[in-house]
Amino acid sequence: MQNVVIGAHGATAEDVLAVAREGAPVVLASEALAGIAASREVIEALAAKPEPVYGVSTGFGALAVRHISPELRAQLQRSLVRSHAAGMGPGVEREVVRGLMFLRLKTLASGRTGVRPVVAETMAAVLNAGITPVVHEYGSLGCSGDLAPLAHCALVLMGEGEAEGPDGVVRPVAELLAEAGIAPVELREKEGLALINGTDGMLGMLLMAIADLQRLFTAADITAALSLEALLGSAKVLAPELQAIRPHPGQAASAENMRRVLEGSGLTGHHQDDAPRVQDAYSVRCAPQVAGAGRDTLAHARLVADRELASAVDNPVVLPDGRVESNGNFHGAPVAYVLDFLAIAAADLGSIAERRTDRLLDRSRSHGLPAFLADDPGVDSGLMIAQYTQAALVSENKRLAVPASVDSIPSSAMQEDHVSMGWSAARKLRTAVDNLARIIAVELVAATRAVEIRTQGSEVLEAAPATRAVVKAVRAAGVLGVGPDRFLAPDLAAAYEFVRAGGLAGAAESVTGPLA
């Protein structure tokens, strides 16, 4: 696997995902190591002076009023990390911890934190050895950054605490470091603070959510197109000239995706055949508008993430002119807001998908499809309860869309009296994204079955080529089609894996070419 080189000027989203999800090894660039060493010289010069400097020769937070003598400063850093490693609850996912560590290493490499090169080198070695600190669900208020999660990672550099080895087994850190040939670090002035004072956890989870949602928005466009087709809807609403007079980029992209999936369909446009309709229902006709608004929200979130990736978040920081200044850049508000914004977009995208599913299952609104898409309605229940499951997920996502970032709770004896709750926003967004993949999967199961029912035995009604490719691929993935009732949970699980792994987009794109 190709190395990810960490320089002095930030990282890319692709770098973070490669390290967090694929286990790519990291290498510190020579200019980054030189910058780290130069900023360390500034810190050591300040440490030798009698004047107190926050984070170098003082306590922390509300305890910053105490000047710490030189002989106690190593103990100060140890105590800081040990006391801040106070998380509780279940451990978070391996990819989250690896993303958090990589992003903290990225900031260390900026030359703005004042640590020694050995600290950055040791963190890189821990990542490359596949050692993953145990980081707990609760403990971060998102200001000053993700303190408790980062402290659990810093504890590992000191040779303390617990971590997962490359085999996924949780063991004492001292054993894991010894097996990997990594020497623990004794932290010096400023280094403990530099390891824990950042927005790295919430940023890493934002980047992963952006990547996942990009795939899911494409998947949702495909299932919306299949539902429109199965309902004999009109594709005229997707015309480019209609999107141009309301020029939201996301709306145009979603409409274009749907139009390309539906190209060559013999099902669309039959809305006047039996029970004439002037217009399709909103959940069908307005699919590009809703998905497009979510796409534009995603673009805004990506802009914020890119700015954060270019940042060096710490307090205090070493400036290019040699000054060491306190600041408030660790506050997580910019990241927390977009995490919450994405949860709203995910909830609404799931909500409109569920409405299309319900329409496919309702005999009074599906324009000729059997009740619940059952093989023998009354004897068979078809997809009735699949829609119940989908509705439960939609309702859960509505609860998860309640923003965390509007909350704040004071801490550190009122020194840290306004916090972002960005970590909480990120944790609930991860759940919402996973739920959204399941919601889309249920619509996929319903829409493909409805298309098959609609086209069986018909010489006139033929699905679009892209739709036929999707149906073939989803059946090959283990999702069965029309037939008597069977144990349904495995079909839904297979559809979920198909959507989440990108199989749905891949099947459609085998006909359409790349979709947005």
Triad 35, 36, 39: Cα angle to 5°: 85
CA-wise closest residue to 447 among 380, 378, 354: 354
Q: Please provide the DSSP assignment of 5-19 as one string.
A: EE-SS---HHHHHHH
CA-wise closest residue to 319 among 111, 47, 145: 111
Torsion, Cα 345 206 397 387, to 10 degrees, reads 80
Q: Which tokens go with 112?
A: 């703005």
CA-wise closest residue to 291 among 349, 236, 248, 237: 349
Cis peptide before 144 (omega within 30 of 0): yes
Number of H helices, E strands in the chain: 19, 9
Identity of the amino acid at 149: P
The angle, 0 to 180 degrees and rounded to 10, between the axes of the packed helices 147-157 and 94-108 is 80
Distance CA 421, CA 418 (A): 9
Distance CA 163, CA 9 (A): 30
Q: Which tokens go with 95?
A: 């990819």
Strands (E), 68-148: 88-91, 132-133, 136-138
Active-site residue identified among 54, 138, 282, 496? 54
Distance CA 154, CA 203 (A): 18
Catalytic status, residue 54: yes
Distance CA 65, CA 63 (A): 5
Distance CA 193, CA 115 (A): 10
Helix (H, G, I), strand (E, B) or coil at 144: coil
CA-wise closest residue to 132 among 87, 171, 158: 171
Triad 372, 376, 377: Cα angle to 5°: 40
Other C-beta atoms within 10 Å of 29: how many? 14
Catalytic center residues:
54
